Amino acid sequence: MSDPTREPSRDRLIRAAAGLFHERGIRATGVDRVVEAAGLTKPTLYQHFASKEDLVVAVIEYRSANWRQGLDDQVGAATTPQRKLLAVFDFLEDFIGDPGFRGCALVNAAVEIPSPASPGRDAVRRNKRDNRELMARLAREAGLKRPKELAAALSLLFEGAIVTAYVEGDRSAGRQARRAAQRLISAHSSRQ
């Protein structure tokens, strides 16, 4: 069993902030609460992060990396190119079905970051762009027509399912999105 006090202090701060920001919100969570949850001190926080904004960016990047790893694992387990593309939606179903689901932490963060030009918003945009690019690559590998167009539509479907599940409490949104994705993929099949 690992000892959390042996985890590097920067990582402890990011993990503590990630949980608090997602649970309580970025603005509602002060750095005092973050350092308390991490079992560290304010000077330690400021050794690693020049400001709360820098901590927010680090949390977004941490969440993005974890998200991508989970997505890559799900896609990597699929056996055919089309199944790999649908695996993105299997990941979505699992994400929405998780008991701790509270919507997309990155979208929630973006809502709390007022400036569209801020580094935090840039980090969120990178994550969303990377997801679209993954879908476009998988669509190309599956030999589907207009992979970029398909990826844009699938991305909207993916993001919309998360919002629907969170706002309306509809945990079937992931399953419905997967079915709609299958229809879109069929429509882009080169066999038609």
Structure confidence at residue 1 as a pLDDT band (50, 70, 90): very low
* pLDDT of 73 over the 60 cut: yes
pLDDT tens per residue, range 4-32: 556 799 999 999 999 999 999 999 999 99
Instruction: Count CA atoms within 13 Å of residue 47 on its CB side.
Output: 11
- Give 90-101 pLDDT, tens digit per residue: 999 999 999 989
Give which of 61, 59, 19, 14 is closest to 40, Cα–Cα. Answer: 14
- 78 with 86: CB under 8 angstroms? yes
Model's pTM, two decimal places?
A: 0.89
- Determine the straight-line distance between the first and last CA of the chain, rounded to whole angstroms: 54
Predicted pLDDT of residue 114:
87
- pLDDT of 3 > 80? The answer is no
Count of all residues that appear for the chain in the document: 192
- Take residue 137 and report the two structure tokens written for it: 């690559």
- Delimit the domains of the chain by residue range: 1-49, 53-187
- Average pLDDT over every residue of 65-78: 96
Average pLDDT over residues 150-178: 96
Shortest CA distance to 165 belongs to which of 96, 86, 99, 116? 96
Rounded to whole angstroms, how far apart are CA atoms 114 and 117? 9
Token output for 17: 């902030």
Token pair 């069993």 in the structure block, residue: 1
CATH numeric code, 1-49: 1.10.10.60
Say what the pLDDT of residue 190 is: 63
Nearest-CA neighbor of 137 among 61, 65, 71, 63? Answer: 71
CA distances from 45 to 125, 136, 139, 150, 167 (A): 26, 39, 43, 43, 34
- Residue 171, pLDDT > 50, answer yes
**Is CATH 1.10.569.10 what the domain over 53-187 is classified as, yes or no?**
no
- Per-residue pLDDT, averaged over 128-157, amounts to 97
